Amino acid sequence: MKQFLAFIKKEFYHVFRDRKTLLMLFGLPVVQIVLFGFALSNEIKNTRIVVMDYAKDEASQKIIDRLEASSYFDIQENLLSASNLEASFKEGKVKLAIVIPADFNNDLLHFNKAQIQIIADASDPNTANTLTTYASAIIMSYQTEMNGLRHAPYQITTEVRMLYNPELKGAPNFVPGVMALVLMLIGVMMTAVSIVREKENGTMEILLVSPFRPFLVILSKAIPYLIISIINVAIILSLSVFLLDLPINGSVALLFGESILLIITALSMGLLISTSTDSQQTAMLLSMMGMMLPTLLFTGFMFPIENMPMPLQIISNIVPAKWYYIIVKSIMIKGLGISMIWKETLILAGMTVILVAISIRKFKIRLA
């Protein structure tokens, strides 16, 4: 036990003496949260849209009023020519255009059928999707109201409710994503690099010749990064509560428990990488490519998994961060307890156990 403590102490010296790494360890989560929180927000609020109202009648005015009443849109009424419209799109001034044709009310009254065109700038498909959904929902609500007036006894209204995230804030989605990303990155990269550094420096040999058990070498390498990662979780959560006004709806303890599960998974992946290379640079590259990309792509916080082709959807299931992301979202935003997320937890825990087993096994084989 004393040996073990001496080792952990040494690991902390390494961490605190290396200012650059230290800055990365604690700066990364802060920068990511601030960056995602303010710069990369995909929140829909006061988006500038153009309504080209050729009808100028009662019906079209009502629709415009409704669009205006929502906080999502900032309406410009303008009759632009087709080429002007395209120019505005290209300049990025306008994200969405709604075209109401000249005989809109007429069509509606006589044929019970009228068309409205919605044009969206789909260069950012996620935003375009959200915007058109909102716009159509608003128009639909007008339609149902109209139906209600005509068939007096049957008044049907649809109500659009954005569940869990009524203000459509971006933060609920990316905070769990950033947590997954930061934990994976730090866990995997730091463990891999710190073990490979011992190999590169030749100190690993000395450690293996000493009576200190190889298993304890791994454990004492992992513990400092486990502690640092837990601190990072705390930093991210406090930033999201105090800076981004995003409350934690579920149990904080459960959130930390699940985070520790992911951290252990990350640490064992780092160990696995360290057994396959002898150079710090390779270790770093492997961790970056092997962890960053899948985590970014397959957790679903940047790119919706449902929109991916089937093979990629299947692949996404083997990415631990995906399950963690689902779990954290459920706890933080929906406030769910363990009874609702035990399946995901079980999957994540299973992955953790398998990875720990493989990496320890591989590490031992190298000593033989």
| Contacts of 292 by beta carbon, 8 Å cutoff, 6+ apart | 181, 184, 185
| Contacts of 3 by beta carbon, 8 Å cutoff, 6+ apart | 212, 216
Regarding 362 and contact with other proteins (CB under 8 A), the answer is no
Strand bridging mode 73-77 / 96-100: unpaired
- Which one, of 173, 120, 148, 139, lies nearest residue 63 by Cα? 139
Q: Which stretch binds other proteins (CB under 8 A): 6-14, 267-275, 337-345, 348-356?
A: 6-14
Q: Are 166 and 86 in contact (CB under 8 A)?
A: no
* Comparison of 2 and 113: residue with beta carbon closer to other proteins: 2
Start-to-end Cα distance in the chain? 25
Minimum distance, C-beta of residue 12 to other proteins, in the bound complex (Å): 11
Minimum distance, C-beta of residue 220 to other proteins, in the bound complex (Å): 9
Minimum distance, C-beta of residue 218 to other proteins, in the bound complex (Å): 14
In angstroms, the Cα distances linking 198 to 9, 132, 140, 280 are 16, 55, 65, 9
Helix (H) or strand (E) holding 47: strand 47-53
Residues 184-203 contacting other proteins, CB under 8 A: 201-203
* Comparison of 162 and 207: residue with beta carbon closer to other proteins: 207
In angstroms, the Cα distances linking 75 to 46, 47, 139, 296 are 9, 8, 15, 35
Q: Which stretch binds other proteins (CB under 8 A): 9-17, 81-89, 127-135, 279-287?
A: 9-17
Regarding 5 and contact with other proteins (CB under 8 A), the answer is yes
Q: Which stretch binds other proteins (CB under 8 A): 70-78, 156-164, 205-213, 293-301?
A: 205-213
In angstroms, the Cα distances linking 102 to 106, 180, 184, 246, 356 are 9, 51, 56, 45, 67
Regarding 56 and contact with other proteins (CB under 8 A), the answer is no
Regarding 364 and contact with other proteins (CB under 8 A), the answer is no
The DSSP string of 225-264 is HHHHHHHHHHHHHHIIIIIS-----S-HHHHHHHHHHHHH
Q: Are 29 and 178 in contact (CB under 8 A)?
A: yes
Of 22, 31, 35, 206, the one binding other proteins by CB under 8 A: 206
Regarding 18 and contact with other proteins (CB under 8 A), the answer is yes
Minimum distance, C-beta of residue 209 to other proteins, in the bound complex (Å): 4
In angstroms, the Cα distances linking 251 to 34, 228, 248, 256, 329 are 24, 21, 8, 9, 12
Q: Are 75 and 95 in contact (CB under 8 A)?
A: no
- Contact pattern for other proteins over residues 250 through 289, marking x by CB under 8 A: ----------------------------------------
Minimum distance, C-beta of residue 31 to other proteins, in the bound complex (Å): 25
Of 14, 48, 62, 362, the one binding other proteins by CB under 8 A: 14
Regarding 23 and contact with other proteins (CB under 8 A), the answer is no
Regarding 9 and contact with other proteins (CB under 8 A), the answer is yes
Cα 279 from Cα 328, distance rounded (Å):
34
Regarding 12 and contact with other proteins (CB under 8 A), the answer is no
Of 39, 82, 163, 209, the one binding other proteins by CB under 8 A: 209
How many residues belong to the site for other proteins (CB under 8 A)?
A: 24
What residues line the site for other proteins (CB under 8 A)? 2-3, 5-7, 9-10, 13-14, 17-18, 201-203, 205-212, 367-368
